[in-house]
Structure 1
Amino acid sequence: MQQDIDLPFCYGENTIYVVGNAKTQQSNPITIQFGQFFIGFVIDRETGMIIQCDVSATLQTTTKFIRSLFIGKSIKDNAEIIKQEIESRYFASSQKAIFVAYKDAQKKFNCIQKGIQIDLS
């Protein structure tokens, strides 16, 4: 018998977790604290819908704002919409890194969909 896990929320069996990585400017607080910028995405395996994400950010407001840019969008089909929203709404030094991390996660997701092994190092 499986023991219940005491978590505030459990993701369904059809979800996967994919992390996208990017570099930010050396003087960026995110780079100083984490070494690089990354976004972790919880994605519906079949639809590609982004269910949740979290970000290597130093401020909670940054994390919440970046979540609002991604949640409810498709990692497969909404690249141009996401890019436009980032460019028109997010004005901080990690702007480019957000899109690069998204594209890295998108690439990994596409490999997973095709059954191609991804490098996890």
Structure 2
Amino acid sequence: MFQQNTVYIVGESKAPSNNPITQQFNCFFIGFVIDRDTHEIVDAECSTTISITSRFIQSMLVGKSILRPDELETEIEQRYFGSSQKALTVALRNASIKYQQLYKL
């Protein structure tokens, strides 16, 4: 399904204690499939309790560069108003840092 030049990176963070994500998963996770050549996010999915949330987040991130977390965070802050907004931005940043460390970028 995914090309040979892709990698999978997971970012994680804590969601608010009253958030159903915390009650179901104990943490907030977002998985990224990233093209190593272009650093473009090919696919993304996160631990959500409502599938439209994961699809909406995916639509904001796919096609964008994992090396531009500030731009992605701005888009999240302008478009995503779920209770896990902060957890999403922290998990995104966590995945971006992991990716950059892995490839020494």
What TM-score comes out, normalization by structure 2 length? Answer: 0.95
The equivalent residue for 1:62 is 53
In our comparison, the structure showing a higher alpha carbon Rg is 1
> What amino acid does structure 2 have at the position aligned with 1:101?
A
What TM-score comes out, normalization by structure 1 length? Answer: 0.83
> What amino acid does structure 2 have at the position aligned with 1:46?
D
**Which ranges of structure 2 fall in alignment gaps of 5 or more residues?**
none
1:96 corresponds, among 82, 86, 93, to: 86
How far apart are 1:80 and its partner, in Å?
Answer: 2.2
Specify the SS of the correspondent of 1:106: helix
The equivalent residue for 1:40 is 31
> What amino acid does structure 1 have at the position aligned with 2:62?
I
How far apart are 1:67 and its partner, in Å?
Answer: 0.3
| CA offsets 1:64-116 (integer angstroms, 9 cap, x no match) | 0000111000001x22221111111111110011110010000110111129x
Query: 5 Å matches for 1:1-121?
Result: 10-76=1-67, 78-114=68-104
Provide runs of 4+ in structure 1 moved above 6 Å.
Answer: none
> What amino acid does structure 2 have at the position aligned with 1:112?
L
Count of aligned pairs between the two proteins: 105
> What amino acid does structure 1 have at the position aligned with 2:39?
G
**Taking every aligned residue pair, what percent have the same amino acid on both sides?**
47
